[in-house]
Amino acid sequence: MKKYLKLFLLLLIFVSVIGCTSNKDDTPKKKETKPKQEEKVVEKNNYPSYNGFLKVDGTKLVNEKGEEFILKGVSSHGIQWFGNLYTKDNLKLLKEDWNTNVFRIAMYTKEGGYIDDSSVKEKVISLIDNLIDLDMYVIVDWHILSDNNPTMYTNESKEFFNEISSKYKDKPNVIYEICNEPNGGTTFDDITTYANEVIPVIRNNSPKSLIIVGTPTWSQDVDKVNKLGFDNILYSLHFYSGTHTEYLRDKVRTALSNNIPIIVSEFGVSDASGNGGVFLDETDKWISFLKENKISIISWSLANKNESSAILKESTSIVNDDNLTEAGKYLKEVFKNY
Ligand code: IDC
Smallest Cα–Cα separation from 143: which of 190, 171, 193, 182? 182
Residue environment code for 12-35, b if the CB has 16+ CB neighbours within 10 A, otherwise e: eeeeeeeeeeeeeeeeeeeeeeee
Tell me the domains of the chain and their CATH numbers.
63-337 (3.20.20.80)
**Side-chain-side CA neighbours of residue 336 (13 Å):** 10
Whether residue 7 has pLDDT greater than 90: no
Backbone angles phi, psi at 156, to 5 degrees: -65, -40
CA 284 to centroid of ligand 1, rounded, Å = 21
Q: Atom 15 (ligand 1): residue with closest C-alpha?
A: 274
Q: What is the pLDDT at residue 8?
A: 55
Average pLDDT, the chain: 91
Q: What is the pLDDT at residue 42?
A: 39
| pLDDT above 90 as % of the chain | 87
Which of helix, strand or coil describes residue 155? Answer: helix
CA 309 to centroid of ligand 1, rounded, Å = 9
Q: Give burial (CB, 10 Å; 0-12/13-18/19+) of 42.
A: exposed
- 32 is an active site residue: no
Smallest Cα–Cα separation from 101: which of 138, 67, 147, 66? 138
Q: What is the pLDDT at residue 179?
A: 98
- 181 is an active site residue: yes
- Please state the pTM of the whole predicted model: 0.89
Of the pLDDT bands very low, low, confident and very high (cuts 50, 70, 90), residue 3 is low
Whether residue 328 has pLDDT greater than 60: yes
Backbone angles phi, psi at 302, to 5 degrees: -80, 95
Cβ of 283 less than 6 Å from ligand 1: no
